[in-house]
Structure formats: structure tokens, C-alpha cells
Amino acid sequence: MSNLTNQTMQSRRRFLENISRAAGGAALFGLGLGIYSQSSKSLPADAIRPPGVSNEVDFLSACVRCGLCVRDCPYDTLKLAMLGDKVALGTPYFNSRDIPCEMCEDIPCIKACPTGALDPSLTHIDDARMGLAVLIDQEACIAFQGLRCEVCYNVCPVRDKAITIEYSHNKRTGKHALFIPVVHSSDCTGCGKCEHACILDEAAIKVLPIKLAKGEMGQHYRLGWEEKRRAGESLVTPDTQHQYNLPQGSRYDYEGEGLITPSQTTPFEKSALERLNEGKL
Amino acid sequence: MVAMAKNAGQDSIAQKGWLLAHKWLLLRRFSQLSILLLFLVGPWFDVWFVKGSMSSSLFLQTLSLSDPFVFLQSIFAGHYPEFTVLSGALIVAVFYFIVGGRVYCSWVCPINIVTDIADGLRRVLNIKTAFNFSRSTRYGLLIAVLLLASITGTLVWELVNPVTMIQRELVFTMGLSWIVIGGIFILDAFISRRAWCGHLCPMGAFYSVLGRYSLIKINAQNRANCNDCMDCYAICPEPQVIKPALKGSGSPLINSGNCTNCARCIDVCAKDVFTMKHRYVYSKTITSQNEVHT
């Protein structure tokens, strides 16, 4: 009888030992994996997700790493992250300096995705926001040196909306214009054709994940002129007609000029020093 | 009577001939390699029977199939699935629920080839190691994997899962996953017997649970003929599942979900003790013949 109890005790002990070994191992493993997963949530700056990914965390919960989007990409733009890449293992991405997104109108990568990790509600490729082009190095960009280039502007599939050319004065020569490419986040899809086409050895314009590229104003900011336009009138004290009794023809500028009299643009015709020398202070 | 593990299956070969004594093994290898090949003829010859990888694939441009374990992780991570992946995972899950969950492990998963070779090497070189993981480690890992998915909101296990990694990299481009294949081989061959597939893999654990009540089971139908040669134990990747069926007084059905239905026991048994049939008929006939009540 005591032998039997001993046996059951032993088997019970073995069972508990087994279970605790398994649980301990699993917990330790889970801890390591959990920490690793946190570090792998950050996407390297040169890795751009395919269209239809609005948020990296949501994407990583949905993507089953099957590679169907990569298979159906007609331009071999998309790559699967392999072991050793810095992108989460098995997930699709592209590097726009290598092969940019051609912005297919039928968006085959989204059609291929079985899980909805690439959002199927994105049907118009111009609405894609894969990343955001940033003219990141104004020292290297030759447009800032006063040279004509505009290659990024010319290859842009959403030209004149996503990239415009803004003219400004060339201070170095004093008589020429600078033709500066300016990216607008309202229309840039992040396809990367600009970065791919940049003529420099290392691109001055780069597509970055939106999270890296965009700043964000605090929610409490209210731009007076925007609010005024939206509401049709000023929301704070309305502009009132000037009520001071000013000399005839004079007016008062609220935006910093101060009192403006019509007769003279400067209060004195000569400088203070000259007047002092003439003894006519 | 107890034979060396090295000689497991010799009696059977002498009895049935080499080919019949390897029938199920050859069928399994054929199944594993042809599934892999189906994925590979696409990128190799531009003939797309199957596109994607074993995590999710498109069969003949119409039928979408998905791995239910990866799908489950995605659900735990908080993703609301599209119908495509939902139906694909359901079809696959129902299939394995019927044929046996771990049929995935022994008839589909290419890593099984690696771990089988590692175990074969152990038998040939007579490698003995004392260290063993607990067989329930995999269930601990399975729970940990699913919990972590819901805590972190990402498919955490898929960041390191060697099974899907190797399957994917075999079909796409091979990254450093050769190292992982090598690692699993070394682990199984020189550190601990059947460590990966039989003790650690949470994917296998998932399929064990899925196939616990599967229709198709191995049956120690003619257990009365057993001559205790121990060959089936030596060859079985989950030897603990055999004893209750072979030596117990209850049902001769190998009921454990851990049985992979690899049918190597059928191959190596010179006495034709085992068969693979569906679970109901044989438990009934045995009961009526031998008056064994289950």
C-alpha cells in the first residue's frame, strides 16, 4: 500500500516537474520573444510598405506572411523580408531607390492579399499613402545650387500636385531663379519614383515612412485664418473700423506698420546724423 | 528480442521486401516533395498551380487556402479577417480535422524531412543523448504564442517561426534560413531526440489539438500478433502514443492527437499489427471479436 502511494507520489512529482519545466521554458521563451517583437515593430527608414497599409502595428497583426502580393507585383517591386533583413520576417516591403512602385491602376498586390492586411477599400491608387517623399538634403540637391534639374518633378506620377516647382531668387548670382521641387503630403503617394530617378549618387529626395516624415501639430492649435475661412467670419473679436481721430489722410495698420501718413513715407528727409551736423535737430 | 534501434525494420524488410517495408515513407516523401514542387514550378517555370506559400496560397488562381495556425495567431493579434483568409483557413482546418491534424507534420511540412533524417542519423550512428525537453513544452509554447500575439497585437511567432520561415524561403529566395534548417538538424541529431517536431514546435501542438478527434487513426488491430520487437517504438516520432493502443486492454486505436499518422509503424512491423483506417469500424470489430470493451 505504502509502495503504491510512493509510486503515485513519484508519478505526481514527475508530472508536476514536467509541467513546471514546460511552463518555465515557455515563459522564458515568451519573454524573449515579446522583447524581440517590440524591436521588430520599428520599420527601417528605407523600407516602404505596399499600398493599403495605413499603420504598421495593424499591418503586423493582419499579414500572414504568405507572399502572394510579392508574387503578383508585375514589376518585382515588392520583396519579402527574409531572415537577416531588418524588416519583420516574411512581410512585404520595397526599397524605392532600387525599384519604386509603379502605381498600377488595378493594384494587383491588394487584390492578391487574402487577409485584408493590404486594405481592399483602397481602390484608387492615387489615394495610396505608402510613404512620403522628402527633399531631405538641400545641400546636395542641385536645384538649390541654381542648376536646372526637376527630374523628380518630371517623373512624379502625380506631377503638379504631389511635387510642384516653386521659384525663388538666386541670391548667389543675384539675377537668376532657383527651381525648387516642393513635395506636398496631401497628394504624395510615396511611390518612390522621385527617389529612384534622383540623378545624384545618393538621392537627395527620399521616400520615408509617413511616421518618420510627417510632423504633427498639437490638437489644440487653431489657425485663425483657417478658422475664419471655414466659418466665413472671424471667431474672435471681429475687425472693427478704426475709431481714433487721426490726422486727415492718415491710417493705422494693425499688422505692424503702425501709423501711416499719406504725405511722407519717411518722417524726415535726411538721416538723423546729417540733421545733427546741420544743427537742425 | 529487443533489437537495436539501428536495425529497426530489418525483420519487416526481410518479410515484405524493401519497397513494401518503406511504402508509407515513400508515399509521405512523395507527398511532401510534390507539394513543395507545386509551389516551386511557379517561380521556376512560370506555371502557377499554386501561388504564395504554405501560410496562405492561391490554388489554380481560384481556391484560396490558408494555414489555420497562422490565421489563429492573426485573430489573437486582433485582426478582423477578410472572408478569403477565413474560408481558406476553415477548409484547411476541416481537412486536417478529418485526416488527422498532424498529417500536416508528416505528409506536408518539409521540415519533417530534415528531422526524420536527423533521427535516421541517430539510429545509424547509434547516437544517444540524455537530454529531453518535456513533451508538453510545445503546448506551453502554443499558449505563450497565442497570448503574446494578443498582448503585442502582432503575429509574434511568425517573426521567428522556423516552419513557415523555411517553407517560405524555399519557395521564394533563400535567405539565412539554411542556418535555421541546420540548427534544427543539429538539435535533433546531436542534442535531443526528436526535439523540434516532437517536443517544441507549437505549430505541431496546434495540429495535435486540431486532430485529436480525427476520423483517420492508426489502429493496432492485430496487437495479439505483436512479438515485442520494439521496432515501432524505435522508429516512431511520438513513441509514447503507441503503448496504450498496443499493450493496453482498451481500444487498439492510437487515440493521441500527437500521433502524426506517418504510418512508419505499419512499415516497420513484420507482424502487420498496425493499420490505418477510420476510427469507427475497427474499434467496433475489435470489440466484437475480442470482447474488448472500449
Per-residue pLDDT of A177-233, as tens digits, reads 999 999 999 999 999 999 999 999 999 999 999 888 999 999 999 888 888 889 887
Predicted local distance difference test score (pLDDT) of residue B31: 95
How far is it, in rounded angstroms, from Cα B85 to Cα A116?
Answer: 9
Is this prediction's pTM over 0.90?
no
Chain A, nearest residue to B141 by Cα: A26
How far is it, in rounded angstroms, from Cα B187 to Cα B189?
Answer: 6
More confident residue, B81 or B2: B81
Segment A153-159 mean pLDDT: 94
Tell me the average pLDDT of chain B: 87
More confident residue, A269 or B8: B8
Predicted local distance difference test score (pLDDT) of residue B293: 45
Share of chain B above pLDDT 90, in %: 45
Predicted local distance difference test score (pLDDT) of residue A52: 93
When CB atoms are compared, the residue of B56, B140, B176 closest to A25 is B140
Per DSSP, the residues of chain B read ----GGGTTHHHHHHH-HHHHTHHHHHHHHHHHHHHHHHHHHHHHS--SEEEETTEEEETTTEEEE-HHHHHHHHHTT----HHHHHHHHHHHHHHHHH-TTHIIIII-THHHHHHHHHHHHHHHT--------TTHHHHHHHHHHHHHHHHSS-GGGGT-HHHHHHHHHHS---THHHHHHHHHHIIIIISTTHIIIII-HHHHHHHHHTTT-SEEEE-TTGGG-----HHHHH-SSGGGHHHHHTSSS--B---TT-----HHHHH-TT---EEEEHHHHHHHHHHHH----
Whether the complex's predicted ipTM surpasses the cut of 0.95: no
Would you say residue B3 has pLDDT above 60? Answer: no
All three cell numbers of B219, joined, read 489502429
Share of chain B above pLDDT 70, in %: 94
Q: Is A67 touching B (CB cutoff 8 A)?
A: yes
- What is the per-residue burial (b if ≥16 Cβ within 10 Å, else e) of B39-69? bbebeeeeebebbbbbbbbbeeeeebbbbbb
Would you say residue B273 has pLDDT above 80? Answer: yes
Chain A neighbors of B66, CB-CB under 8 A: 64, 66, 114-115
Chain A neighbors of B164, CB-CB under 8 A: 65, 90
Tell me the average pLDDT of chain A: 86
Predicted local distance difference test score (pLDDT) of residue A264: 56
More confident residue, B238 or B290: B238
pLDDT in tens, B11-60: 888 888 899 999 999 999 999 999 999 999 988 898 889 998 888 999 98
CB contact under 8 A, A65 and B168: yes
